[in-house]
Amino acid sequence: MTTLRLPGRVDAHVHSREPGYTHKEDFYSGTAAALAGGVTVVLDMPNTIPPTATPERLAEKARLAAAKAVCDVGLFVGATTTYADAYLPVATQACAVKIYVSDTFGSLRIDTLSLLHQLFRTWAETAQGTGYRTHDRAGGLGPITVHAEDLMLSACLALADLYHVPLHIAHVSRRSEIELIRKAKEHGINVTCEVTPHHLFLSTDDLGRLGNLGDMRPRLGTPDDVAALWENLAYVDIFATDHAPHTLQEKGVGAAEAPANPPPGVPGVETMLPLLLTAVHQGRLTLQDIVGRCINNPRRIYGLPEQPETWVDVDVDASFVLTNKQLLTRVGWSPFAGMNLVGRIQEVVLRGVRVYGDGQILAEPGSGRVLFVQPE
């Protein structure tokens, strides 16, 4: 057994599902799954019911997270067609704004240039007023984070360039997209990006086996898309999971009749570290690749505070078969179930307190902190 001590990891893309979808996950089950995955900060997405699109909704979500979370939580605000930029008065209390420009789950969708343009303009104006620096959050704003696939990616890059707003591209999945981001970075545009484990370790070749359990947005790429992500790893700033739990029933598993519109998305917050450590074991990644993309870069991009006396101990020699039974996510399944993995999380310590060990959550609900939000 070889124990390796890592700093607490960040998962910068998690759908905790509360409020509105707590049959899929809530702030307790989602953050418990995070700790089991060696994650001590999750950044929570705004496509809940109701969406986190106004100051009142952000305050409500902060209360829910503060009551239940067992790791730290940053909250995204989201743009809706109805409320557009209603979040601006509390923009500094969000880790960032998330704009869904491409097809997704839930009601948040912005697909007209006029609205997209408005959102970039008002975020830039607010940032000028607050003097944003994403690496120094004192009173500043986070980046604009977008789900923008294909042609929509170029629209977002152009707007970020024109308005000098830091832009973060969520879950990049295609060769064309990572190559365009690479070009944009070389050109000096202030853009960063993330890739999920499912887009790194699965492809369209797995769809026959996975069925609806392999359906998410962006969809799985071809083996050539996957190869392009690995070839361009130097341009990938963050590994984040897009932990997007839906129940097996909603996915149509075991159902007599296939559901008409199964929701897209897969859980992942507790399986990313063993998957990445397995890639280290295979010589495809280095530990430094993980530390940069799961700790240092997300902290810098979102301006996250340090977590003192916080670490994750992993047994890098432990090999095991991933089973659904061992998972803490409420939905209890993973698209990676059945895989042989090397690297088991033994213990997590958050601010000097042992919060996970021997497969058990030891933290009290509400011991996690909600980042950036000012107490009322």
Phi and psi angles of residue 76, each rounded to the nearest 5 degrees, phi first: -80, 145
Residue whose pair of structure tokens reads 């000012």 in the numeric block: 374
Nearest to 243 by CA among 196, 290, 299, 206: 196
Find out whether 152 and 164 touch, Cβ atoms under 8 Å: no
CB of 24 to ligand DOR, least distance (A): 9
Q: How many CB atoms lie within 10 A of CB 168?
A: 27
Q: Which is nearer to ligand DOR, 197 or 265 (CB)?
A: 265
Task: State the minimum distance, in angstroms, from the CB of residue 45 to ligand DOR.
Answer: 6
Using CB under 6 A, which of 4, 7, 105, 189 touches ligand DOR?
105
- Tell me which of 47, 126, 232, 271 binds ligand DOR, using CB under 6 A: 47
CB of 246 to Zn ion, least distance (A): 12
Selection from ligand DOR, Zn ion, none that 265 binds (CB < 5 to 8 A by kind) is ligand DOR
Considering the rule CB under 6 A, would residue 104 count as an interface residue with ligand DOR?
yes
Helix axes 27-36, 55-68, angle to 10 degrees: 60
- Binding partner selected for residue 264 from Zn ion, ligand DOR, none, CB under the kind-specific 5 to 8 Å limit: ligand DOR
217: region left, alpha or beta (phi > 0 left; psi from -120 to 50 alpha): beta
Q: In the complex, what is the shortest distance from the CB of residue 12 to Zn ion, in angstroms, rounded to a whole number?
A: 10
CB 310, min distance to ligand DOR, A: 28
Given 98, 147, 174, 299, the residue binding ligand DOR (CB under 6 A): 147
Q: At what angle do helices 223-231 and 175-186 cross, to 10 degrees?
A: 20
Taking the C-alpha atoms of residue 348 and residue 35, their distance in angstroms, rounded to an integer, is 7
Closest residue (Cβ) to Zn ion? Answer: 242
Q: Return the one option of ligand DOR, Zn ion, none that residue 307 interacts with (CB less than 5 to 8 A, by type).
A: none
Distance CA 109, CA 117 (A): 14
Site string for Zn ion, 238-257 (x = CB under 5 A): ----x---------------
**CB of 114 within 8 A of CB of 122?**
no
Element (H, E) at 241: none
Is residue 315 near Zn ion by the rule CB under 5 A? no
Residue nearest to ligand DOR (CB): 265
DSSP 8: P
Residue 229 near which of ligand DOR, Zn ion, none (CB within 5-8 Å, type-dependent) = none
User: Which of positions 10-39 make contact with ligand DOR (CB under 6 A)?
Assistant: 15
> Tokens 């991009």 — which residue?
301
Q: Which is nearer to ligand DOR, 145 or 278 (CB)?
A: 145
Of 292, 217, 293, 313, the C-alpha closest to 261 is: 217
User: What is the binding site for ligand DOR (CB under 6 A)?
Assistant: 15, 47, 104-106, 147, 216-217, 242, 244, 263-265
User: What is the binding site for Zn ion (CB under 5 A)?
Assistant: 242
